[in-house]
Amino acid sequence: MRQLILDTIGGRRVSSVVACVLGLLLLEYVVCRFILARVPYTEIDWKAYMQEVEGWVVDGDTNYYHLKGDTGPLVYPAAFLYLYAALRWIAGGDGSDITAAQQVFFRLYLATVAVVLTCMAFSGRKKSIPLLYYALVCFSRRTHSIFLLRLFNDAWCVALVHLSVLLMVVLGYRRLGCIVYSLAVGVKMNAFLWAPGILAFLLGPGLPTGRRFFSTLCFVAVWCGIPQILIGLPFLTTHPIAYLHKSFELSRVFFYKWTVNFKFLPEEIFVSPELGLLLLAMTIILWLWFAFRKWLPSWVSQDPLLVLYSSNFIGVAMSRTIHYQFYCWYSFTIPYLLCRSQWTRNASIDFVIKIAVWGSIEYAYNVPPSSECRSLPKGTDFCDNPATPLSSALLQLAHVALLVGLARAQVGKKSAKLDSRLGAERPCSSILLHSLFTPPEWLTQRSGQQGYSPEEDSLSASMRATLPVAKRLCSPDPSAAEYPPNLAELVGSNVVASPLSAAVWAGSRSTMLPTKRLLCGATPHSVLHHLAVALNHNIVPVSSRY
């Protein structure tokens, strides 16, 4: 019973994970209904969105320099206009029916949570995720506010990005996932922070060759670039300079009064270009370090979800400024990042650090207003943004701690790390390393049975002896490698003569199975099955699946 409880809490039982996900979605439905019924809507950007859309929908103006609202000029790509034009029609035709718009965002929030939990459950198949981290996805007060009470376009951007992750990582629809990701970029540019991780995921494990890198870039250009061009076509064909300048403006400097992450800096330093260049350089350095030390060597094959989530987190952590609504950019991913992070070898200490990091981030985005603000009118700068130097410093420390935890995280088994050194994603190395670190299932089943021989215990050692030749066999340069013609030469030249090697030799000679085809193109199960057949001296023709 104790083990059953531990397995359930630890997320090692499929039934417990499914029940947890369904229970959390039901709880979220109830909580969101309660929030919509009891907490009043707060106007921040909705009216400005409607004014920006009105210039295009009503007046037919496609010049981005003319599309403005109370908060300033329109600075989002064209997908934002299409989306909020539809929301304007839903909200009474002119955007005045806020309740109708909130109902749309309510369903959007539930769908986003469902997608995130599904992605986590899929990733938890390889390495279990304790149920606590599923629950933390739903425990953010600020995220509920952003979706249900503020109606920011950040919510749609985040929802589309997570949908693209579901399509690419979980369902395997990479082309469709890239199209949806392009739509997310068309709503708001912060989706670009996922781009390095998506590129690494599409490249696949191992250091990419020039040809593979070029082909991947072409794939991205077609399935991400062309949809973006089609989205902006009405504006690119009429006022292209205005559209490109305003919708993808990179030179904007945000107001100091709204910053959440750098409140401890003086305003003159915050607005200085040197700070922006420093943060940009740190972002690129971190992306490159994680790409070549974590993502490509092992994470892409072992935990692709962690690749995408960490890419976005690096971009957010190094952002020049973070506003309260920007929290939803990464709030859904923090629980998973914490789950996979590692600081020490002591699980209890790591758990305390994880809870402290999560609590610090939540506190920084939910600093209560001071008592002085209660007597002041709405619109007072420091009351609208109650962030303090202490809360900003705490947020930055939490970001740094999480980056350190990700840098020290060990994803996958030792064999996966060694496999990346022997030839990246080539199946040959994977098969041999599988036999080194994992006892063959058929050997485990035969152990102790009648007819079990000591020679069968030597299989792992025999396969270890073939490792140098296998490394040469799977060399990326065929002209530099001498490929043995069959399994007999490979095993016979590296394993001491024994009944095991003799049986394998006999089996390979009778079937004339090419070595490269067996080891570099087969699955571990098929290789071990063939060796098992040879050991039992029951030589049969090799089927086409080899």
Task: Calculate mean pLDDT across residues 233-258.
Answer: 86
pLDDT at site 54? 92
Max avg pLDDT among 88-92, 521-525, 538-542: 88-92
Work out the mean pLDDT of the chain and round it to a whole number: 79
How buried is residue 266: exposed, middle or buried, by Cβ count under 10 Å (0-12/13-18/19+)?
exposed
pLDDT at site 378? 53
Do the domain assignments include residue 437?
A: no
Per-residue pLDDT reduced to its tens digit, 162-205: 999 999 999 999 999 999 999 999 999 999 999 999 999 999 99
Per-residue pLDDT reduced to its tens digit, 102-138: 999 999 999 999 999 999 999 998 889 999 999 999 9
Do the domain assignments include residue 454?
A: no
How buried is residue 433: exposed, middle or buried, by Cβ count under 10 Å (0-12/13-18/19+)?
buried
Confidence of residue 375 (pLDDT cuts 50, 70, 90): low
154-158, 232-236, 443-447: least confidently modelled range: 443-447
State whether residue 541 is helix, strand or coil: coil
311: tokens are 């890419």
Do the domain assignments include residue 326?
A: yes
Task: Calculate mean pLDDT across residues 535-540.
Answer: 37
Per-residue pLDDT reduced to its tens digit, 271-330: 898 999 999 999 999 999 999 999 999 899 999 999 999 999 999 999 999 999 999 999
Per-residue pLDDT reduced to its tens digit, 470-482: 444 444 443 433 3
pLDDT at site 509? 36
Confidence of residue 528 (pLDDT cuts 50, 70, 90): very low
| pLDDT over 60 (residue 433) | no
Do the domain assignments include residue 85?
A: yes
pLDDT at site 488? 40
Give the whole-number percent of the chain exceeding pLDDT 70: 71
What is the distance between the alpha carbons of residues 487 and 546, in angstroms, rounded to a whole number? 13
Per the structure, how many domains does the chain have? 1
What is the distance between the alpha carbons of residues 51 and 71, in angstroms, rounded to a whole number? 10
pLDDT at site 389? 92
pLDDT at site 368? 76
* Sequence-distant (≥ 6) Cβ neighbours of residue 455 within 8 angstroms: 498, 499, 500, 535
Ramachandran region, residue 522 (left: φ > 0; alpha: ψ -120 to 50; beta: rest)? beta
pLDDT at site 383? 57
Higher model confidence: residue 421 or residue 359? 359
pLDDT at site 255? 81
CA-nearest of 177, 191, 187, 199 to 232 is 187
| pLDDT over 70 (residue 41) | yes
- Asked if 83 and 70 count as a contact pair (C-beta separation under 8 A), the reply is no
Do the domain assignments include residue 525?
A: no
Do the domain assignments include residue 298?
A: yes
The span from the first CA to the last CA of the chain, in angstroms, equals 44
| pLDDT over 80 (residue 451) | no
Largest CA distance in the chain: 92
DSSP 80-126: HHHHHHHHHHHTTTTT--HHHHHHHHHHHHHHHHHHHHHHHHHHTTT
- Asked if 140 and 188 count as a contact pair (C-beta separation under 8 A), the reply is no
Do the domain assignments include residue 291?
A: yes
Give Cα 278 to chain centroid, integer Å. 25
What is the distance between the alpha carbons of residues 493 and 504, in angstroms, rounded to a whole number? 12
Which domain covers residue 333, as residue numbers?
A: 1-371+383-411
State whether residue 390 is helix, strand or coil: helix
pLDDT at site 71? 84
- Asked if 134 and 17 count as a contact pair (C-beta separation under 8 A), the reply is yes
438 phi and psi, to 5 degrees? -125, 120
Task: Calculate mean pLDDT across residues 350-374.
Answer: 85
Give the dihedral of Cα atoms 414, 418, 420, 424; nearest 10 deg: -120
pLDDT at site 376? 52
| pLDDT over 70 (residue 505) | no
pLDDT at site 412? 63
Do the domain assignments include residue 445?
A: no
Task: Calculate mean pLDDT across residues 445-454.
Answer: 46
